[in-house]
């Protein structure tokens, strides 16, 4: 039997549920603690945006396909891991020019306040601390497929609200 | 370690700044928050200074845990000054995001002195401190001020604490609001800020905050996170503090229509249950917190449609039940108005309730109220009055002085209806039927308040006979006060007080892990006692004594009239005297409520004996 073409690795990333996120910034604190051994949101790989008491969301790297940050780097300092999709930064090559920051639509690339090179979420070697610590369980370590599935289940539950009440269990 | 070890002095008249180092022994002795704040207030002011005199310092101070990921304590700050309401200690705490930013900018505290020649805001950008023109900000609400400053300075993450129009006009119940919805609310500190021509303080801090024992601290925080998801915080995570409405109503201690009644026929319509069902759109959290409690209410329809604000029991009570108003949409609107003008919603509601009571008794007429029909229950009149108070327009100018001073100005016996202690308006517990709480309120060093002592707890839980004044209540109040003072010096949110299962033991460990300064639970407890004595000493220095540990006239003269368990209850002079004698005795104070020389020395305040000496040695007539 002919071998199947290699399946593209499943890329998991950190996603915040806008319904659940309350803007508490615990994710920022645990991130800067995990990565830099200090408490400092400006060194966090995930940032909270509160536009209004009712509008809160944590934002971090989405592991885009064909990541624009990588394409934008004129010094080839960024590379996307084939396996995990994580953006890897060569700190020797990066000179803090900020093209990648401009290229990212989500503000996930940040200039480090001290080293002046960029940094972004590296998924804590597959066990993101922000997800573990999020008190609202608003953060998910998930894939885009799973997010779509979740949305589908949610919408069907909503459409069948009455029927759901009679479903046993 | 988690102290920045730097205190920033800003002279608003000259723009000059100075850094004072914070020494370890000072830090350990007073912890931070209100403890260290009151010490700095005492050291940086002369006796008898008018609260609006430029020489009265306005202190913004963090706690030792601010800037770390300590839940609730990581995000807080306290404001301390001489209160324009009481003439004694003024202090209030606020959470949100602002406090952490002060620490990250590299400071434990800001001390503002002097008065700026023109309206300014102070812009602290790490080590850079500038006075900025605030003229374009005048008349703006704190929320608008925050947005404008962020726009002007071009950074969304700048944190701002600001006053509104009320603070600018020296309304004595003005507050300071940070992060749109969080207020250092009580004791009129926004008016002190206004008297300095200081519209706002904007901070950006980018420095690291560290703790002494990182791994252990992290484990400790993890444990607190777990506890915070448990029963100790259930109330705050679910219905929130408005749960109190029906509880207090059933106990017959829900002060209604300016303490005319103690049960409210409209309680169901303003209950926490109804609020959550109809109005709460989302419950959000402060920076670093592992629970969320901030119930954001939105009015869905009607004349006040779209009003969005945080709701808590105390302000709901003051602006609603205390004014006889049973419409939540109007109460939410009134809360929004208080936030807009920058007024303490508790005091504002109590003042309007007072004015309504005067109106009902013919002490005020339409001639006095600019034509407003100030009957209890008139929500439109409430909103008009708040606007007038917030801007000192017409009749509002008198009310803006607070219930006590307004009653003095109105005369004609209005004092009987002014519900305040030490000039600070009452809060939402009818202490006629909660006699441990009554003592706590009377002796609270910041005036009428439930949060200085939490002494309603034994009454409400039934661990004591709440209708009886008896010996032993002094000890109860003293113990809770000492703990609460530590809580307010660490600036831990009181909503989480239940998660420190071993109280002083847990808190001492927490403190040491963060600061590296060793402290035992016993030492921490004595520190609580020290800070309570310190606050009392400040008040004694400013001329306060036993005569100021009083009750509102209604509490002492009008028994609860409502049918039910609390009927007939009130606090007589004899009972108050018994409670005060008992409390002073367990505190080691004289009959006049002055800390003795032995007690002052005993809690390590030897250098302040000069305050009590002349008062104690004065021969009694």
Instruction: Give yes or no for A135 touching B (CB within 8 A).
Output: yes
For strands A110-111 and A87-89, give the pairing.
unpaired
Q: Is residue B236, in this structure, part of any structural domain at all?
A: no
Residues B463 and B547 in one domain: yes
Mean pLDDT calculated for residue range B572-598: 98
User: pLDDT value at position A2?
Assistant: 57
User: pLDDT value at position A5?
Assistant: 61
Tokens of B597: 């020389």
Q: Which chain B positions have a beta carbon within 8 Å of A40's beta carbon?
A: 104, 206-209
> Do residues B204 and B100 touch, judged by C-beta distance below 8 A?
no
Closest by CA position to B166, among listed B82, B84, B54: B84
> Which residue of chain B comes nearest to A31, CA vs CA?
B69
For residue A164, name the pLDDT band (cuts at 50, 70, 90): confident
Closest by CA position to B516, among listed B313, B149, B187, B217: B217
Q: How many CB atoms lie within 10 A of CB B427?
A: 28
> Do residues B253 and B462 touch, judged by C-beta distance below 8 A?
no
Q: Which chain A positions have a beta carbon within 8 Å of B294's beta carbon?
A: 53
Per residue in B51-107, pLDDT (tens digit) is 999 999 999 999 999 999 999 999 999 999 999 999 999 999 999 999 999 999 999
Q: Which of B405, B425, B445 is the last residue of a domain?
A: B425
Mean pLDDT calculated for residue range B558-582: 97
Instruction: Give yes or no for B395 touching A (CB within 8 A).
Output: no
For residue A163, name the pLDDT band (cuts at 50, 70, 90): confident
Number of C-alpha atoms within 13 angstroms, CB side, residue A133?
28
Instruction: Give yes or no for A155 touching B (CB within 8 A).
Output: no
User: pLDDT value at position A6?
Assistant: 64
> Do residues A17 and A58 touch, judged by C-beta distance below 8 A?
no
> Do residues B398 and B409 touch, judged by C-beta distance below 8 A?
yes
CB-CB under 8 Å, A39 with B225:
no
Q: Which of B381, B403, B425 is the last residue of a domain?
A: B425
User: pLDDT value at position A98?
Assistant: 97
Per residue in B196-251, pLDDT (tens digit) is 999 999 999 999 999 999 999 999 999 999 999 999 999 999 999 999 999 999 99
Query: If you write DSSP's letter for every residue of B583-617 in order, what string do you get?
Result: HHHHHTB-TTSPBPHHHHHHTT-GGGHHHHHHHHH
Tokens of A154: 């949610």
SS (H, E, C) B235-276: HHHCCCHHHHHHHHHHHCCCCECCCCECCCCCHHHHCHHHHH
Residues B350 and B317 in one domain: yes
**A55 forms bridges with which residues in the sheet?**
A52
Per residue in A42-76, pLDDT (tens digit) is 999 999 999 999 999 999 999 999 999 999 999 99
Closest by CA position to B430, among listed B459, B452, B402, B407: B459
Q: Is residue B50, in this structure, part of any structural domain at all?
A: yes
Q: How far is the alpha carbon of B508 from chain A, nearest alpha carbon, in Å?
A: 21
CB-CB under 8 Å, B104 with A40:
yes
Q: How far is the alpha carbon of A73 from chain B, nearest alpha carbon, in Å?
A: 25
Q: Is residue B351, in this structure, part of any structural domain at all?
A: yes
- End-to-end CA gap in chain B: 53
Instruction: Give yes or no for B292 touching A (CB within 8 A).
Output: yes
For residue A1, name the pLDDT band (cuts at 50, 70, 90): low
| Dihedral angle of Cα B138, B139, B141, B146, to the nearest 10 degrees | -20
Q: How far is the alpha carbon of A135 from chain B, nearest alpha carbon, in Å?
A: 5
CB-CB under 8 Å, A113 with B290:
no
Which residue in A24, A33, A41 is closest to B286 by CB distance?
A24
Residues B169 and B281 in one domain: no
> Do residues B102 and B110 touch, judged by C-beta distance below 8 A?
yes
Q: Which chain A positions have a beta carbon within 8 Å of B71's beta carbon?
A: 26
Which residue in B69, B157, B296 is closest to A53 by CB distance?
B296
CB-CB under 8 Å, B210 with A38:
yes
Per residue in B377-420, pLDDT (tens digit) is 999 999 999 999 999 999 999 999 999 999 999 999 999 999 99
Q: Which chain A positions have a beta carbon within 8 Å of B296's beta carbon?
A: 53-54
For residue B311, is pLDDT > 80? yes
Closest by CA position to B82, among listed B50, B114, B40, B36: B50
Residues B165 and B287 in one domain: no
Per residue in B328-367, pLDDT (tens digit) is 999 999 999 999 999 999 999 999 999 999 999 999 999 9
Q: How far, in whole angstroms, is CA B5 from its chain's centroid?
A: 26
Distance separating alpha carbons of residues B405 and B517, to the nearest angstrom:
45
SS3 B557: helix
Q: Residue B383: which CATH number?
A: 1.10.569.10
Instruction: Give yes or no for A6 touching B (CB within 8 A).
Output: no
| Residue of A18, A22, A51 for testing the chain B interface, max B β-carbons within 10 Å | A22
Instruction: Give yes or no for A59 touching B (CB within 8 A).
Output: no
User: pLDDT value at position A166?
Assistant: 78
For residues B285-301, b (16+ Cβ closer than 10 Å) or e, as one string?
bbbbbbbbbbbbbbbee
Per residue in A102-126, pLDDT (tens digit) is 999 999 999 999 999 999 999 999 9
Residues B524 and B492 in one domain: yes
Q: Residue B451: which CATH number?
A: 1.10.599.10
For residue B427, is pLDDT > 60? yes
Number of domains in chain B: 3
Distance separating alpha carbons of residues A106 and A109, to the nearest angstrom:
8
Tokens of B431: 């202490």
Residues B473 and B355 in one domain: no
Closest by CA position to A30, among listed B116, B621, B74: B74
Mean pLDDT calculated for residue range B520-547: 98
Distance separating alpha carbons of residues B291 and A131, to the nearest angstrom:
16
Give the CA distances from residue B504 to residues B223, B255, B499, B510, B525, in Å, rounded to whole numbers and listed in that order: 16, 34, 12, 10, 7
B28: left (phi over 0), alpha (psi -120 to 50) or beta: alpha
For residue B618, name the pLDDT band (cuts at 50, 70, 90): low
Contacts of B1 (CB under 8 A, 6+ apart): B210, B211, B212, B514, B515, B516, B517
Q: How far, in whole angstroms, is CA B585 from its chain's centroid?
A: 27
Q: Any idea where the domains of chain A sit in the sequence?
A: 9-60+121-144, 64-120
Contacts of B253 (CB under 8 A, 6+ apart): B262, B429, B430, B431, B432, B433, B434, B560, B566
CB-CB under 8 Å, A42 with B289:
no
Q: Is residue B228, in this structure, part of any structural domain at all?
A: no
Q: How far is the alpha carbon of B214 from chain A, nearest alpha carbon, in Å?
A: 8
For residue B619, name the pLDDT band (cuts at 50, 70, 90): low
CB-CB under 8 Å, A25 with B156:
no
> Which residue of chain A comes nearest to B285, CA vs CA?
A24
What's the domain range around B514? 431-617
Instruction: Give yes or no for B173 touching A (CB within 8 A).
Output: no
CB-CB under 8 Å, B284 with A22:
yes
Query: Which H or E element spans position B142?
Result: helix B142-153
Instruction: Give yes or no for B298 touching A (CB within 8 A).
Output: yes
SS (H, E, C) chain A: CCCCCCCCCCCCEEEECCCCCCCCCHHHHHHHHHHHCCECHHHCCCEEEEEECCEEEEECCCCCCCCHHHHHCCCCCEEECCCCCCEEECCCCCCCCCHHHHHCCCCCCEECCCCCCEECCCHHHHCCHHHHHCCCCCEEEECHHHHHHHHHHHHHHHHCHHHHHHCCC
- End-to-end CA gap in chain A: 44
User: Mean of the per-residue pLDDT values for chain B?
Assistant: 97
- Radius of gyration of chain B measured on its C-alpha atoms: 23
Q: Is residue B214, in this structure, part of any structural domain at all?
A: no
SS3 B140: coil
For residue A3, name the pLDDT band (cuts at 50, 70, 90): low
Residue B193: exposure state from Cβ atoms within 10 A (0-12, 13-18, ≥19): buried
Q: How far is the alpha carbon of B527 from chain A, nearest alpha carbon, in Å?
A: 28
| Residue of B67, B204, B284, B306 for testing the chain A interface, max A β-carbons within 10 Å | B284
> Which residue of chain A comes nearest to B65, CA vs CA?
A39
User: pLDDT value at position B222?
Assistant: 97
Q: What are phi and psi of B500, to 5 degrees?
A: -95, 80
Q: Is residue B30, in this structure, part of any structural domain at all?
A: yes
Instruction: Give yes or no for A42 touching B (CB within 8 A).
Output: yes
Distance separating alpha carbons of residues A78 and A70, to the nearest angstrom:
5
List, in sequence order, the alpha helices (H) in B370-420: 379-391, 396-399, 403-410
**A89 forms bridges with which residues in the sheet?**
A78
Q: Residue B88: which CATH number?
A: 3.60.9.10
For residues B385-400, b (16+ Cβ closer than 10 Å) or e, as one string?
bbbbbbbbebbbbbbb
For residue B620, is pLDDT > 80? no
Q: Which of B383, B399, B425 is the last residue of a domain?
A: B425
Q: How many CB atoms lie within 10 A of CB B524?
A: 25
Q: What are phi and psi of B572, to 5 degrees?
A: -80, 165
Residues B40 and B141 in one domain: yes
Q: How far is the alpha carbon of B412 from chain A, nearest alpha carbon, in Å?
A: 45
CB-CB under 8 Å, B290 with A26:
yes
Closest by CA position to A63, among listed A13, A105, A112, A100: A13
CB-CB under 8 Å, A136 with B285:
yes
Q: How far is the alpha carbon of A6 from chain B, nearest alpha carbon, in Å?
A: 41
Distance separating alpha carbons of residues B50 and B337, to the nearest angstrom:
29
**pTM of the predicted structure, to 2 decimals:** 0.96
Instruction: Give yes or no for B56 touching A (CB within 8 A).
Output: no
Q: Is residue B400, in this structure, part of any structural domain at all?
A: yes
Residues B267 and B283 in one domain: yes
Which residue in B68, B181, B296 is closest to A39 by CB distance?
B68
Residues B53 and B175 in one domain: yes
Mean pLDDT calculated for residue range B272-280: 97
Q: Positive or negative CA dihedral for B88, B315, B498, B253? A: positive
CB-CB under 8 Å, B69 with A49:
no
Q: How many beta-carbon pairs below 8 A join chains A and B? A: 83
Q: What are phi and psi of B424, to 5 degrees?
A: -100, 130
Residues B420 and B435 in one domain: no
Report, at the CATH architecture level, how domain A9-60+121-144 is classified: 2-Layer Sandwich (3.30)
Q: Is residue B514, in this structure, part of any structural domain at all?
A: yes
Contacts of B596 (CB under 8 A, 6+ apart): B588, B589, B590, B612, B616
Mean pLDDT calculated for residue range B444-465: 95
Distance separating alpha carbons of residues B124 and B127, to the nearest angstrom:
7
| Residue of A32, A35, A53 for testing the chain B interface, max B β-carbons within 10 Å | A53
Domain A64-120 has CATH 3.30.70.20: yes
CB-CB under 8 Å, B214 with A39:
no
């Amino acid at each position: 039997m002919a071998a199947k073409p290699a399946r593209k690795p499943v890329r998991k990333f950190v996603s915040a549920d806008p319904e659940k996120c309350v803007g508490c910034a615990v994710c920022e604190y645990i991130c800067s603690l995990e990565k830099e051994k200090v408490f400092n949101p400006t060194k966090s790989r995930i940032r909270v945006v509160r536009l209004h008491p009712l509008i809160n969301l944590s934002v971090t790297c989405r592991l885009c396909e064909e990541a624009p940050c990588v394409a934008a780097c004129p010094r080839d300092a960024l590379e996307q891991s084939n396996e995990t999709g994580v953006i890897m930064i060569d700190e020797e090559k990066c000179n803090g020019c900020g093209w990648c920051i401009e290229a990212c639509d989500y503000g996930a690339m940040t200039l480090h306040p001290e080293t002046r090179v960029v940094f972004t979420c590296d998924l804590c070697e597959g066990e993101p601390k922000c997800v573990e610590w999020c008190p609202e369980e608003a953060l998910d370590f998930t894939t885009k497929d799973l997010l779509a599935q979740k949305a589908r289940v949610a919408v069907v539950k909503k459409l069948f609200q009455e029927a759901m009440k009679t479903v046993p269990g | 370690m988690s102290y920045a070890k730097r205190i920033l002095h800003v002279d608003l008249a000259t723009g000059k700044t100075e850094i004072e180092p914070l020494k370890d022994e000072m830090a350990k002795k007073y912890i931070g928050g209100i403890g260290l704040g009151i010490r700095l207030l005492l050291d940086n002011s002369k006796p008898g200074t008018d609260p609006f005199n430029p020489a009265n310092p306005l202190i913004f101070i963090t706690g030792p845990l601010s800037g770390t990921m300590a839940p609730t304590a990581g995000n807080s700050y306290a404001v301390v000054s001489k209160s324009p309401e009481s003439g004694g200690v003024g202090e209030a705490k606020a959470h949100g995001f602002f406090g952490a930013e002060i620490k990250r900018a590299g400071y434990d505290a800001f001390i503002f002195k002097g008065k700026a020649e023109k309206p300014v805001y102070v812009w602290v950008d790490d080590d850079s401190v500038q006075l900025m023109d605030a003229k374009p900000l005048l008349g703006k609400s704190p929320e608008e001020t925050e947005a404008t400053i962020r726009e002007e300075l071009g950074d969304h993450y700048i944190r701002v604490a600001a006053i509104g129009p009320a603070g600018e006009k020296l309304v004595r119940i003005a507050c300071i609001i940070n992060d749109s919805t969080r207020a250092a609310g009580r004791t009129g500190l926004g008016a002190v800020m206004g008297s300095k021509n200081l519209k706002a303080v904007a901070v950006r801090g980018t420095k690291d905050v560290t703790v002494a024992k990182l791994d252990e601290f992290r484990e400790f925080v993890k444990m607190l996170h777990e506890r915070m998801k448990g029963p100790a915080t259930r109330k705050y995570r679910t219905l929130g503090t408005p749960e109190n409405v029906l509880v207090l109503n059933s106990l017959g201690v829900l002060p209604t229509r300016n303490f005319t009644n103690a049960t409210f026929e409209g309680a169901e319509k303003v209950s926490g249950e109804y609020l959550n069902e109809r109005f709460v759109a989302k419950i959000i959290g402060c920076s670093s917190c592992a629970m969320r409690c901030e119930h954001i209410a939105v009015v869905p329809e009607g004349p006040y449609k779209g009003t969005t604000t945080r709701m808590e029991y105390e302000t709901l009570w003051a602006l609603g039940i205390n004014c006889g108003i049973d419409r939540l949409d109007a109460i939410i609107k009134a809360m929004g108005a208080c936030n807009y003008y920058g007024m303490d919603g508790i005091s504002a509601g109590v003042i309007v309730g007072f004015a309504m009571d005067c109106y009902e008794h013919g002490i005020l007429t339409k001639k006095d109220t600019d034509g407003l029909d100030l009957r209890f229950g008139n929500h439109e009149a409430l909103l008009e009055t708040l606007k007038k108070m917030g801007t000192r327009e017409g009749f509002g100018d008198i009310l803006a002085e607070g219930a006590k001073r307004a009653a003095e100005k109105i005369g004609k016996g209005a004092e009987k209806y002014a519900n305040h202690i030490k000039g600070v308006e009452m809060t939402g517990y009818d202490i006629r039927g909660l006699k441990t709480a009554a003592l706590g309120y009377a002796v609270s060093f910041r005036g009428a308040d439930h949060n200085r002592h939490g002494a309603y707890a034994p009454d409400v839980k039934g661990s004591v006979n709440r209708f009886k004044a008896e010996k032993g209540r002094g000890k109860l109040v003293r113990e809770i006060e000492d703990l609460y003072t530590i809580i307010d010096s660490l600036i831990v949110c009181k909503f989480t007080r239940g998660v420190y299962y071993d109280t002083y033991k847990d808190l001492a460990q927490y403190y040491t892990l963060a600061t590296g300064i060793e402290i035992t639970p016993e030492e921490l407890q004595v520190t609580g006692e020290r800070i309570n004595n310190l606050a009392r000493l400040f008040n004694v220095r400013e001329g306060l004594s036993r005569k100021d540990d009083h009750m509102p006239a209604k509490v002492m003269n009008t028994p609860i009239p409502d049918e039910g368990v609390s009927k007939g209850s009130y606090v007589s002079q004899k009972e108050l005297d018994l409670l005060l004698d008992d409390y002073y005795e367990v505190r080691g104070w004289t009959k006049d409520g002055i800390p003795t020389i032995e007690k002052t020395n005993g809690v390590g305040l030897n250098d302040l004996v000069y305050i009590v000496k002349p008062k104690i040695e004065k021969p009694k007539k």
